[in-house]
Amino acid sequence: ESKRKGRSTYTYYDTGLNSTSERRFNLEQRLPKAIAEDELVLHFQPKVNLSDFRIVGFEALVRWQHPELGLVYPDDFIPLAEETGLIVELGEWVARSCCRQQAAWQAEGLDCVALAINMSPLQLQREELPSRIESLLTEHDVPADVIEIEITETVLLKSLEATVMVLRRLEALGVQISLDDFGSGFSSLSYVRTLPIHIIKIDKQFIRDIRNSTHDGVLVASIISLAHNLGMQVIAEGVETLEQLIYLKTAGCDQAQGYYFSRPVPAASARDLLRNGVLAPS
Ligand code: C2E
Ligand code: MG
Ligand code: MG
Ligand code: MG
């Protein structure tokens, strides 16, 4: 009994941010300030067209440059932002930053490629989202077709009607919509067809073990042909090896994204990649 007391007293003096709950508490408390004071930063990961290996776009992935904890990854704070509702403000910051980035690249005369923004279900339930996006586009003089939105199947779980309406209005603006992490959720491609989706993004868990005649290989090839038959494009995420790349290209996959080509990189490095234009396999 006394030993246990002693231990908990010791824990009391351990004021570092080592424990999961302390870290979580710190992140949650500080997040509003982080958004307001620009501690967030976007990294960009190229999407490559598999017919000519040209960069056709980038996915914007948010990171938090935390003054004490260093670079914090989204899995550690996006769920907190979703629980507290701060995701709306955070999402606005991401959308504005992407428009600003597009404007800067266009001013430099770089090729115009799409920037993809990840959106949480809560953002997509908000009626004002399309008009917010529209005014950001106008403000930065950026055409809608260079902005893409990535949604996940979890949007099907809540407020389906409101979400479909928001997506249709975004589509009407000219924004591309892709379905992220496809296959990791619960729904079939035909069910997902109730959403205005232009691009299917196959979840990285299915890419890991693809090879001829493996279970995942067959599954991925089927998703690709089904998506094509439904008039959608397909991108594979999490491509790490040449073998995976060759399999995907042979199976008719349109685009790929993953460490094989490039990790998500800061804006300056993304600009250099874009300047080169091609990420040919070696
Ligand atoms: P996601 O949208 O599915 O993004 C793909 C994740 O896989 C990213 O992790 C990316 O860095 C990682 N990845 C890319 N290529 C490879 C690869 O070849 N191998 C492996 N193992 N991983 C790869 P990240 O950046 O940590 O982001 C995690 C998740 O956080 C994202 O998953 C997305 O759901 C969410 N997220 C990121 N940025 C935002 C944002 O601005 N808003 C919202 N709402 N969510 C975001
Ligand atoms: Mg994504
Ligand atoms: Mg994904
Ligand atoms: Mg994911």
Residues near ligand 1 (Cβ within 6 A): 45, 61-62, 73-75, 78, 94, 118-120, 150, 180-181, 204, 237-240, 258-259, 264
pTM of the predicted model as reported, rounded to 2 decimal places: 0.93
Minimum-distance ligand 1 atom for the alpha carbon of 45:
14
Pocket test for ligand 1, best of 118, 123, 205, 235 (most atoms within 8 A of CB): 118
- Spatial distance between the Cα atoms of 98 and 137, rounded to a whole number of angstroms: 10
**8 A C-beta contact, residue 160 and residue 167:** no
Closest atom, ligand 1, to C-alpha of 264: 11
> By the 8 A CB rule, do 34 and 66 touch?
yes
What's the pLDDT at 156? 81
**Looking at ligand 1, which residue's alpha carbon is closest to its atom 3?**
181
The dihedral sign for the CA sequence 103, 108, 111, 115:
negative
pLDDT attached to residue 6 = 42
Structure-token match 């090896």, residue found:
241
Q: What pLDDT is attached to residue 188?
A: 77
70: β partners: 66
Q: How far is the CA of 7 from the centre of ligand 2 (A)?
A: 43
For residue 89, which ligand has an atom nearest its CA?
1
Output the six-digit token pair for 235.
């991108």
What pLDDT score was predicted for residue 189?
Answer: 77
Q: Are 179 and 199 in contact (CB under 8 A)?
A: yes
Q: What is the pLDDT of residues 56-103, one digit of tens each?
A: 999 999 999 999 999 999 999 999 999 999 999 999 999 999 999 999
What pLDDT is attached to residue 83? 94
Nearest to 56 by CA among 235, 268, 245: 235
pLDDT at 7: 44
The pair of structure tokens assigned to 240 is 């790490």
- pLDDT per position in the chain (282 positions), as tens? 344 444 444 444 455 566 888 888 899 999 999 999 999 999 999 999 999 999 999 999 999 999 999 999 999 999 999 999 999 999 999 999 999 999 999 999 998 999 999 999 999 999 999 999 999 999 999 999 999 999 998 888 888 889 999 999 999 999 999 999 998 887 777 778 888 999 999 999 999 999 877 899 999 999 999 999 999 999 999 999 999 999 999 999 999 999 999 999 999 999 999 999 999 998
What is the pLDDT at residue 159?
85
User: Which 3-state string (H, E, C) describes 176-244?
Assistant: EEEEEEECCCCCCHHHHCCCCCCEEEECHHHHCCCCCCCHHHHHHHHHHHHHHHCCCEEEECCCCCHHH
Which pLDDT score, from 0 to 100, does residue 10 have?
43
**Ligand 1 atom showing the smallest separation from residue 119 Cα:** 44
Q: Note the helical H segments in the chain.
A: 2-13, 20-36, 74-84, 87-107, 121-124, 129-140, 160-173, 189-192, 204-207, 215-229, 242-250, 267-276
The protein residue with its alpha carbon nearest to ligand 1, atom 27, reads 74
Residue type, 39: E
H or E stretch covering 44: strand 40-49
ipTM computed for the complex: 0.98
Ligand 3 center to 11 CA (angstroms): 38
- Ligand number nearest CA of 119 is 1
